[in-house]
Structure 1
Amino acid sequence: MKVALATCTTLPAPDADQALLVGALEDAGASVRLLAWDDPMNAPDAGELVVIRSTWNYFEDVDGFLAWVERTAKTTHLFNPASIVRQNARKTYLRDLSRRGIDVVPTEYAMKGDARSIPDVTRERGWDAIVIKPVVSAGSFSTQRFAATEAAAAQRFLDELTRERDAMIQPWMPSVDTYGERSLVWIDGELTHAIRKSPRFSGSTEAVSAAMPIAPEERAFAEKVLEPIATDLLYARVDVVRDENGVLRLMELELIEPSLYLVQCPPALARLTRAIVRRATADMA
C-alpha cells in the first residue's frame, strides 16, 4: 500500500499537518513518501495513491501545476481528482457558485491588462474598505486591505497586480474581527470540525483557534456548497464569514491543498487516515 503526499520542493510555510499524517499512515501500514510536484526528477509511481497536500507554490505556475495534475491522474489515482482541481484553481469559481445560488462574498474581477477604476467599483457597489488579491493565489500572496480613504493606494496596487495576473476586488467584511473567518473542514463525506482564523495579508502570519463545533446553520451552508461534488472529494475546506446582516457568505472553497487543521482535531486525522488507506487498498485490489 503506497501513498505519496504531494508537496513542493520548498515550502513557503511549515505544514503542521504533514508529520501527523505521515505518522498516522505509516502506523496504518502504508508506505509513505513526499512527492514534490515541481521536481521533474520525482514522478509518481503507478499504483501509488497521490494525495495533494502542501503544493502551496502552485500559484507561481498554475499552468505547469495543472499539467502535472493531468499527468499524475493518467498515471495513478489522485485526490482530490483532476477535474476538481481544474475547477478550483482559479477563484472565478465564486462566480459559478453564485450562479448556483450560493451566497458568496461579493466580488469584482479585474483581468490581466484590464483597466478597472477603484473609485468607480466602490461607488457602484457601495463599498467602503476593500480587499484586493489575485484570482490564483495561496496563503496571503499579494493580498491587501485598503480603507475607503486609501483609494489611490488601492488603485496603484490593483494596476501593478493586473500587469502580471488576474485580480479580484471584494468588500472588507467587518465581522472577520468578531465572528471571524470560519474554516469548516470536510473529510470523506463528513464535516469534522471548524476553526476560527484571524485576517491574513501579505507578509503576515495566520493565527488559528482550537477546534470549534460547527453550528447547524454553518453545517447546512457547507453541505449545500459541496453537494454537487461531495462524492468526488476526499477532503474540502469551506471558508465562511458573516456579512453586515449576519448572513453566511462563502469566502473561499478550498479543494486543492487546504490546511485541514489536523493538529486541532485528532478525530479528523483518524478519519482522513482511514479514508486514504481505504482508497490505497482498493488500488491494490
Structure 2
Amino acid sequence: MTSIALATAADLPDLVDDDASFVTALRDRGATATPVVWSDESVAWDDFDAVLVRSVWDYYRRPDEFAAWVDRVDAASPTVLNAPGTLQWNRHKFYLRDLEDRGVDTLPTEYVERGAAIALPDIFARRSWDELVVKPAVSAGAFETRRIGREDAADEQPWFDGLAADRDVLVQEFADGITAGEWSLVFFDGSYSHAVVKRPEAGDFRVQEDHGGSVAAERPTESLRKRAREVVDAVTAERGGDVPLYARVDGIERDGGGDGVGFQLLEVELIEPELFFRVDADAGGRLADALLDRL
C-alpha cells in the first residue's frame, strides 16, 4: 500500500478542511494519507513512499528552517512533491523575475535586496506610479504587505527602511484590477482543473479570506486558461522540464493581447496553496490520480 505524508503546519495538524475531499480520494484509491507536521524533528520521512507538501502555512515565518527541512526530506529519499528544487525556487518571490525573463507578463516590480538604500519617493518618480505595494520576498497571506500612495511615500519611508534592512523586498505597481477580482487557476500535472475569483472586501485590496475577502467559483474563458497555462509552461521550462504536480496561477485580467484579453501574473503558488477543492467535487480525485500516477 502506498504511504503518503501530507506535510502541514503545527497549528494545522489535521490539514485544512478544504483538503478533505483530496484526502478521501487518496484513501479511496488504496493509499494511506497521513498529515505530518513538517517541523516535527522526530518524523522519519523515509518511512513514507512520498511526501506531498500541503498546508505548511507557517514556512514564511521560518524561512531558513523550512529551506533546511526541504533539503533534509529530499535526502531522506522519498518522492517529494512539488520537487525540492521547485519548492526552494518558489519560496522567494524573486522567482517572478525569472518568469518575466521568459516572457510572462508580470506586475511592474522593483526587486530590492536586503540592506539596499532605496527611497520610495524616487521609485514613484522613476516609475510614474500613483500607488505601489510593498511586500517581503518571502511571505504569504499579505504578511507585512502595505499599499502606499505617492503622497504618503515620505511618511512610510521609515517603515520601508526597517523592512528592507531585514529581508529582500518587492515593490510593485498597485494593480487596479485587483478590486474587480483576482483569478486563481488551478493546474494538476500541467492540466487545467478549476478556477475561482477572489475579491477583496470593499475598501481593501487584500483578497485573503482572513482579511475579509471572498471566493467564488467561476469559469475562465479559453483565452484566460491559455494564458495561465503559458505560466505553468514557463515554470516547467525554468525548472528544467519538471512539470509541477500542482500549481495555482494567480493574476488579473486586463485589456490587450491579440484577442483583446490579457492576463497579468501576480504569483504562481507551488508550495502550499489553497487549492479550493470545495468548489469542484472532482478536483480532489484529479489530484489524487495525478499524484499516484507519479509513484
| Structure 1 residues 133 and 202: alpha-carbon distance in aligned structure 2, compared to 1, 3 A threshold | farther
Report the Cα offset of residue 209 of structure 1: 2.7
Structure 1 ranges of 4+ moved more than 3 A: 201-204, 242-247
Aligned to 2:88: 86
1:161 aligns with 2:172: no
Structure 1 43/137 Cα, relative in aligned 2: closer, same or farther at 3 Å? farther
TM-aligned CA deviation for residue 204 of structure 1: 4.7
Instruction: Tell me, in whole angstroms, the C-alpha distance in 1 between the residues paired with 2:291 and 2:262.
Output: 35
Q: Could you tell me how far apart the structure 2 residues matched to 1:252 and 1:47 are?
A: 31
Contact 2:198–2:207 (Cα < 8 Å) also in 1: no
Paired residue secondary structure (1:5): strand
The equivalent residue for 2:175 is 173
Question: Which amino acid in 2 is paired with 1:223?
Answer: R
Conservation of the 8 A alpha-carbon contact between 2:134 and 2:147: yes
After superposition, what is the alpha-carbon deviation per residue over 1:39-92, rounded to whole angstroms, capped at 9, x for unaligned? 111231344211000111111222221221122122210000011112111111
Give the Cα separation in 2 of the matches to 1:109 and 1:265.
37
Alignment root-mean-square deviation, CA? 2.2
Paired residue type of 1:98: E
212, 232, 235: which one aligns with 1:226: 232
Query: Unaligned regions of 5+ residues in structure 1, if any?
Result: none
Please give the alpha-carbon distance, in whole angstroms, between the structure 2 residues aligned to 1:130 and 1:213: 30
**What letter is aligned with 1:250?**
L
AA aligned to 1:68 is W
**Partner residue of 1:211?**
217
- Return 137-146 or 239-248, whichever deviates more: 239-248
Partner Cα distance (1:276, 1:213) in 2 = 25
Q: 1:41-120 residue pairs with structure 2 within 5 A?
A: 41-75=42-76, 76-120=78-122
Which amino acid counterpart does residue 253 of structure 2 have in structure 1? R
Q: Are positions 1:145 and 2:147 aligned together?
A: yes
Q: What's the TM-score once normalised by structure 1's chain length?
A: 0.90
Q: 1:128 to 1:210 in 2, by over 3 A?
A: same
Deviates more, 1:72-81 or 1:213-222: 213-222
Match of 2:275 in 1: 260
Tell whether the 8 Å contact from 1:35 to 1:44 is kept in structure 2 after alignment: no
Asked if the contact 1:182–1:240 (Cα under 8 Å) also holds between the matched residues in 2, the reply is yes
The answer on whether the counterparts of 2:4 and 2:51 sit within 8 Å (CA) in structure 1 is yes
- Contact 2:136–2:144 (8 Å) recurs in 1: yes
Helix, strand or coil for the counterpart of 2:279?
coil
- SS of the counterpart of 1:232? coil
Aligned position for 2:34: 33
The residue type equivalent to 1:145 in the other structure is R
Contact (CA 8 Å) 2:190, 2:243: kept in 1 or not?
no
Residues 98/70 of structure 1: CA separation in 2 closer, same or farther (3 Å cut): same
Per-residue CA deviation, residues 171-221 of structure 1 (Å, 9 max, x unaligned), is 11111112x111111012311111111242799525343321121221121
**Count of residue pairs brought into register by the alignment:** 278
- Higher mean C-alpha displacement, 267-276 vs 118-127: 267-276
Partner residue of 2:285 out of 246, 270, 276: 270
CA distance in 1, matches of 2:277, 2:209: 24
What whole-Å deviation, never above 9, does each CA across 1:112-132 have from its counterpart, x for those lacking one? 211111110011001111111
Matched residue, 2:246: 235
* Secondary structure of the structure 2 residue equivalent to 1:210: strand
Is 1:20 matched up with 2:1?
no
Structural mapping, 1:122-137, within 5 Å: 122-137=124-139
Contact 1:133 1:169 in 2 (8 A): yes
Q: For 1:142-190, what per-residue CA distance to the aligned partner results, in whole angstroms no more than 9, with x for missing partners?
A: 1111223221343232112112211111111111112x11111101231
2:195–2:219: 8 Å Cα contact kept in structure 1?
A: yes
**What TM-score does the superposition give when structure 2 sets the normalisation length?**
0.87
SS state of the match for residue 252, structure 2? strand
Find the aligned partners of 1:260 and 1:72 in 2 and give their Cα distance.
23
Q: Percent identity?
A: 37
The alignment partner of 2:122 has SS state of helix
